[in-house]
Structure 1
């Protein structure tokens, strides 16, 4: 474990098909040739459907005179672009305030918008850190991935450029009174939906009375979240230790540079069974005797929720792989070994 004192700067549907053929002992050669031709034609049709048919991003129109909606794209202006590490940026988009929809449930945490790469007509979901303000500003922490078309395109944009967005769309339905304790486990930019949720809880716009723990992992110190994300979270934890706590994990400490205005507790290693157990069975949060029976108690009866968001390999190790088409799939990994059930685990 490393505690960083002041003096450290955190830089922060594929068309698949199955060809079925009829086999017969005395099938003629011409019949086999015909079947082969049909199979080839079917394959060509399936591939053509996959590559040529429009997806929702190609079909959704762009509208600049009606409120933001999941049914169409709305032009937004890039008003700020700040490098936070060698591969990440904080980008701020703004839409005209008159195009903001009525709040209602649309902006209930956790929500996201789709951003479209105009060059190749591909869209990807991104989570606005602080939601949207009265001026239509949305701030995003975005990592550039080598094979991420939209993220590379976004990193190339300049202040003043127009970027089309579609949404808002609920990522997960929040209920104030459904859980006594929530464990947030994130990696990399997977912290963004949790930051959005925690900003809502800390702002007083939620009646949630339980406890929240955030366990976040990055590859190196320089890839930890930037101050725009860290500082509000650290302030919330410092002033509400009974309600919120957080721990950071890195694969490598590497070199430390710059300055930091706050202490930051960072542990070397990945988030695993012991770190999750520690978060759940903290002496400061639970009666001393609960830990004695925790190994034998049925954890599936407890009102605990795990939200997991990050790289697929991390999500798989913690909560099991996603199901088909990124459905939830069964609980696996560390959380399965600890006895938690599907109703207690959600993969973002």
Structure 2
């Protein structure tokens, strides 16, 4: 059933972090209704993880009839989420004031890169820009090299989609007590700044340098890095604690005298070279035989496909097959209200008739909406 069973959420369809937020909520049991644009199609929608578990209705919000239908849907919902630039939904007539007027208990979630206000609020941007502004991108990369974008996981999905999902659940809990809805302003700049909290603290304490690639967790330390193996693959080490570090030295056969002073940063570059030379003497599988499952803090660096067949991931069902596609299972796990994927992603607008009928439209009225191009 999922912990959010019984919660109805309207998602104004977009790309990337918005659908990801909706996916997370749907995975947890919420009924998520994705409102698509009329005429939108896609090949193999079942291969889009972010659309899984959602019902789909196609409405033209540039028509009065389409807006009216959406507002009728909002009357039945607990929450709505959107990821347009500030002011877009207001112009369409489905902004916070419009929606809260028909449903005062509604949680209205808004996600943008820069936020709903501020000097850059109306500017275009992408993940790489948002995490640039908060110091996050500056921290990714090796010493003496340029910053490396961590895909779009930190801004879009971590600082954006997950932060909005968290905010919506918080607001839904509050609405149960107060009987009142509210608007959530989830900015990827704000979210990615929060994700950097630990490093803000470390810098204030003088334990984290602003220079890239010289710190304990950014490839500066020989005991926390990735290393190439004899077969051109990679392994990762995270032997921070002294007892784990001691195991690394013993199992890898590193010279104990040279590696005795673990936290002497002046020695890290030299020790990194020794570790690199050592790791390259064996294949990835050979190092797995020696280190995997130990307290060394070790793991092979797997690609997306390899990860699906690793024994640990198989034992936990970390990946599931839905609609002919292997994809990540819902997370986190619950002991009683188990989360699950209700069904694979549907074709755009597949549930239009059913959903409109649920909110009171007759077959004849739906036909009239189609004639007026207000729905698919």
Give yes or no for TM over 0.5.
no
* Higher helix content, 1 or 2: 2
Q: TM-score range by the shorter chain?
A: under 0.3
Structure with bigger gyration radius: 2
Task: Provide TM-score, normalisation by structure 2.
Answer: 0.23
Tell me which of the two structures has the higher relative contact order, counting C-alpha pairs closer than 8 angstroms and 6 or more residues apart. Answer: 2
